[in-house]
A and B are shown apart, each in its own frame.
Chain A
């Protein structure tokens, strides 16, 4: 899936990836797909927990050779 925004957090440790994801989420619109690139092993579980809690959708988790790509579709944002 072609992402709307790519957030490259490779090389950062927790809370780098989730901080970068939140910055992108703040600027995103409902329907956008944010792709988070991360090397920190905690990025996957943190993103998963956030998506479940917030009602946003993880559409793909792709294991690359030296990092992971997590694609999140923004389903929910703000007062609804």
Chain B
């Protein structure tokens, strides 16, 4: 068997898990030196991004969210500690920062999404956020501790963005914190959203809306942020409305990774056209995209990246093994959704199952915390039996 080169680009949740799963599925071939799995990642900081909220609104230490990528990949993964500069799908090559070119037989692009505050004039100067880094999230915690009253505006500055519940969660957790400090009566709390309702999917919005009302969180809908004036402390919408603020906490617009844009393999915003079931990049049988990097119509979250990794890794392994099998992702989403006072719900749906209405409970909050603790272990690929038991069907397998 000639040597097979598999290149995974991106060392986040999806890329790490895909690399680990491939080395599990292809262990025999790797040990016989018939297959090599390369993981290309310019950063060795692996960050548990859902934890940003707790750094920003509950004072968790930023360092608790971080592990060295070397400790997360299996020994058979060949780590390449450089960023990818260009991906050529036709030539089947990935060019590294050093100029070296890697040839591949199979490719997985897991380059994620990039929060981009600079896309909105004035936003990066005016607003803090809980999406770009643990350090940026810590700034919110520092400011909140000194905040003694005024207008706090929490919201969404562009769509799509990763972790759809996170803006609502931020409003709930900010409210919790301000009540705990005893200054909630000195604060007006407003939630800005481009969507028609507090949460984009109506069944979960029916859960959020009365809870926002009860907590006196004002909701302003159809507010697509156009610009922010940090001097006047005003935020303006494309729809022609405006809001004042004293403290602005906004989810920035997101775009695809630079390497996707530079390589010309994404759409105008850098999302890669991808088959929503097979996870193959449109027009290519040996190239896959997973996680936030794709243009498929599901939430950009760690859980979806995880489930898509399983599909991509199995499809590559099946092809290497010359099995006539094709794995197909069913669009399952499962986003934890914290709603304050130590309660949480989940946003659950799939391509064929609209999002359900799920009430927040203490038990679901404990489940969310449990999943967060399990996160690092789940990247090994050894815990998928738990995902299988818990999620039920997340993909189908067809004979080809």
Query: Contact residues of A with B, CB < 8 Å?
Result: 9, 11-16, 18-19, 22-23, 25-27, 42, 46, 49-50, 53-55, 76-80
Number of A-B residue pairs with CB-CB distance less than 8 Å in the complex they form? 65
Q: A22 touching B240 by the CB < 8 A rule? A: no
Interface contact B236-A76, CB-CB below 8 Å: no
Which B residues are closer than 8 A to A by beta carbons? 158-160, 194-196, 200-202, 221-222, 224, 226-227, 236, 238-240, 242, 268-269, 276, 297, 349, 351, 354-355
Q: For residue B54, give the distance in angstroms from its CB to the closest CB of chain A.
A: 26
**What distance in Å separates the Cβ of B126 from its nearest Cβ neighbour in chain A?**
16
A44 to nearest B CB, angstroms?
Answer: 12
Is B200 in contact with A53, judged by CB distance below 8 angstroms?
no
B173 to chain A, nearest CB (A): 22
Report how far A70 CA is from B2 CA in the complex, Å.
53
The answer to whether A26 touches B224, judged by C-beta atoms less than 8 angstroms apart, is yes
Q: Is the CB–CB distance between B238 and A78 below 8 Å? A: yes
Residue in chain A with minimal CB distance to B354: A13
Quick check: B159 and A23 within 8 Å, CB to CB?
A: yes
Of the candidates A15, A23, A26, A79, which one forms a contact with B200 in the assembled complex, judged by CB atoms under 8 Å apart? Answer: A15
Partner of B269, one of A22, A23, A50: A23
Q: Which of B240, B242, B351 contacts A54 (CB 8 A)?
A: B240
Residue in A9, A12, A80 with the greatest tally of chain B CB atoms within 10 Å: A12
B200 in contact with A14 (CB, 8 Å): yes
The contact of A76 among B196, B200, B240, by CB within 8 Å, is B240
A79 in contact with B226 (CB, 8 Å): yes
B239 contacts across to A, CB distance below 8 A = 53-55, 76
Tell me the bound Cα distance from A11 to B295 in angstroms.
13
Chain B residues with CB under 8 A of A80: 240
**Across-interface contacts of B224 in A (CB, < 8 A):** 22, 25-26
Say yes or no: A14 contacts B297, CB within 8 Å.
no
In the complex, chain B residues whose CB is within 8 Å of the CB of A12: 297
